[in-house]
Structure 1
Amino acid sequence: MFTLQIGYQVRDYGAWKKVFDSDPAGRAASGARSVRVFRDAEDQNSVAVFLDFDTKDAATVFLERLRSQVWDKPEVIGQLVSASPTARTLEEVAREGQGAG
């Protein structure tokens, strides 16, 4: 499993979440198996998103789509974030605890 980890520094979480929920880059159709959204406990405008994919290629293709269809369009994201989003692809190599198989 591969996880795309994305960090956002948002201006207004509610406004950002509304756009996120509209799925402008098509994560549902891109093979994302699960999506998790976290907010920093000390900074509620610091958001982390984790999207799980079966393959590294699927994660890479989705990230490219996200960059070209959302991040590179000021009219979509310009007023939502105060810094450029960050992203990296993680490969799961071990799992323990609940849900471990």
Structure 2
Amino acid sequence: MFTLQISYPVRDYEAWKKVFDTDPAGRAASGARSVRVYRDTEDRNSVAVLLDFDTKDVATAFLDRLRSQVWDKPEVIGQLMAAAPSGRILEEVAREGQGAG
């Protein structure tokens, strides 16, 4: 399993979430098996999104689509982001506890 971890420094969480929910990069059709959204407990405008994919290639393709179709648009970055988002792909190598399989 491969997880795309994205950090979003947003200006306004509610405004960002409205756009996120429209799925502008097509995560629903991209092969994402699950999507989890987290907010920092002290900085409520610091958001982390984790998307799980079966392969590194599919995760990489989705990250590339995000960069070219969403993050590179000044109207998105300027209005919704306090700084540029960042993403990285993680490979699961071990799991313990609840949900381990």
Smaller-chain TM-score range? over 0.9
Question: Residue type matched to 1:18 in 2?
Answer: K
- In the alignment, which residue of structure 1 is the partner of 2:99? 99
- In the alignment, which residue of structure 2 is the partner of 1:12? 12
Distance 1:34 1:17 in 2: 17
Distance 2:2 2:44 in 1: 26
- In the alignment, which residue of structure 2 is the partner of 1:22? 22
Distance 2:62 2:52 in 1: 11
- In the alignment, which residue of structure 1 is the partner of 2:81? 81
Distance 1:67 1:5 in 2: 14
Question: What is the CA distance between 1:74 and its match in structure 2?
Answer: 1.3
Structure 1 stretches of 4+ with a deviation exceeding 3 A read none
Question: What is the CA distance between 1:76 and its match in structure 2?
Answer: 3.0
Question: What is the CA distance between 1:53 and its match in structure 2?
Answer: 0.2
Query: Percent of aligned pairs with the same residue?
Result: 83
Q: CA RMSD in A?
A: 0.7
- Deviates further, 74-83 or 46-55: 74-83
What TM-score does the superposition give when structure 2 sets the normalisation length? Answer: 0.97
1:8-31 CA distances to partner (integer Å, 9 max, x unpaired)?
Answer: 110000000000000000001000
Q: Is there any run of 5+ residues in structure 2 with no aligned partner, and where? A: none
Distance 2:77 2:23 in 1: 13
- In the alignment, which residue of structure 2 is the partner of 1:66? 66
Question: What is the CA distance between 1:77 and its match in structure 2?
Answer: 3.4
Distance 1:15 1:82 in 2: 13
Q: Is there any run of 5+ residues in structure 1 with no aligned partner, and where? A: none
Q: Tell me, yes or no, if the aligned pair for 2:2 and 2:53 is still in contact at 8 Å.
A: yes
